[in-house]
Amino acid sequence: MGFSGLRTYDADIETAFAFLCDVDNATARYESAGDRDIEVLRAEADGDGFVIECRRVVEVDLPGFAKKVLQPSNTVTQTDTWGAPEADGSRSGTYLVSVDGAPVKTAGTMSLEPSDDGCVHHIEGQITVKIPLIGGRIAKWAEGTARQSLEHELDFNADQLDSD
């Protein structure tokens, strides 16, 4: 199942990129979503790019059909890998979100591109659930949850970046 989100920030690409790679901002973003036990496992340059990897505990309100195979409290690891800037300053990258002990993964792409007013942050994702019989139903439900989380993340970023 797929989802996407798009937000324009008042900040330029360099400022937005630095914000997205900042450990304190990543922690605050997850805390604002209600996540807990947030741990930054890695935040480092990777050539001209950057990798930030965080682990956190996420609570979800599971639908009845999913309660037999999934838990409402999950440890999630997210790895964001950004590439080097292009000639126009734009950046692109990938991310992977895995749920410890569950056959659920979210993976996708992200980009920061210049705009007249700052930059545009675009994220696309795909959810895969490898559970026989009900995996498709869980993926469809998880897509809605992922969209809500993505909107919260983009709103948080915009609130912080547009207030500077």
pLDDT of residue 132: 83
- Output the six-digit token pair for 30: 């997850």
Which pTM was predicted? 0.91
Find where tokens 């790895």 sit. 79
Cα Rg for the chain, rounded, in angstroms? 16
Helix axes 23-32, 135-161, angle to 10 degrees: 120
pLDDT of residue 9: 97
The answer to whether 15 and 161 have CB atoms below 8 angstroms apart is: yes
Rounded to 10 degrees, the C-alpha dihedral 74/75/76/77 comes to -170
Positions in the chain whose pLDDT score sits under 70: 1, 163-164
Domains of the chain: 2-161 (3.30.530.20)
The answer to whether 130 and 112 have CB atoms below 8 angstroms apart is: no
pLDDT of residue 124: 97
